Amino acid sequence: MRFSSAVLVLTSLAGVLATPAPQRNGGDVGAFCGGIAAIKCRDGLTCTLNGKYPDAGGVCTKPTRTTTTKAAPQPTGTFCGGIAAIQCPTGFECAIAATYPDAGGVCIKQKCGGFAGFKCPTGFYCVAPATPDALGYCEAESEPTCGGIAGIKCPSGLTCVAPPYPDATGVCKKL
C-alpha cells in the first residue's frame, strides 16, 4: 500500500513538472500582454494596455503610427516608482510619498538651481526665484504643437513627436 501511494505521488508530480510554462514573450495579435509579469508581444507589435496603472494588462496590436520616435512628456502628477520602477519622462522626477520598498509616487517637475547649481536636461530651462541659492523647477523650452485630430503640420525642418495613438497631439522637434 505504501509503495503504490509513493508511485501515485511521484506520477502526479511528474505530470505537474511536465506541464509547459505559460508564454512570457512573443504573443501574436490579440494575445494578452503586460500585467505584473510584463508579458511581451512579438517583434513588430505593441502592447495596448487596458488601463493607466501599474501592472495593467492589455492585448498585442499592430502599431497604428510608425512616424513617431518617442512619446511626449507625461504631465505632472503621473504615477511613478512602485514595484515596476516606472520612470518619469525627461524634465520630471519621481516624488516618492513613503519610505517602504516599492513605494510609488508622482512625477513632478525636476528641481534646478539652488546652492548646488542643479542643471536642467537639454531642452529645458530653469525657472527660479531671484533669491540667491533658491531652488527652481525645469520647464520645457517652448515648442509648437502638432498632430491631433486637426492634423496640424510642423514648420519646415521640424518633426512631429507624438504618442503612438490615433489623433494624438505632439510637439514639433528638431531631430
pLDDT tens digits, 11-34: 554 544 444 444 455 678 888 888
**pLDDT range class, residue 134, cuts 50, 70, 90:** confident
Place of cell 516608482: 81
- Give yes or no: residues 136 and 84 share one domain: yes
- Give yes or no: residues 96 and 59 share one domain: no
Q: Are 78 and 108 in contact (CB under 8 A)?
A: no
- Give yes or no: residues 134 and 91 share one domain: yes
Query: Does residue 148 lie within any of the structural domains?
Result: no
Instruction: Provide the whole-model pTM.
Output: 0.38
Q: Are 172 and 160 in contact (CB under 8 A)?
A: yes
Q: Which domain holds residue 113?
A: 79-140
- Give yes or no: residues 131 and 85 share one domain: yes
- Give yes or no: residues 26 and 54 share one domain: yes
Strands across the sheet with 32-34, in order?
32-34, 57-61, 46-49
- Give yes or no: residues 59 and 111 share one domain: no
pLDDT of residue 9: 47
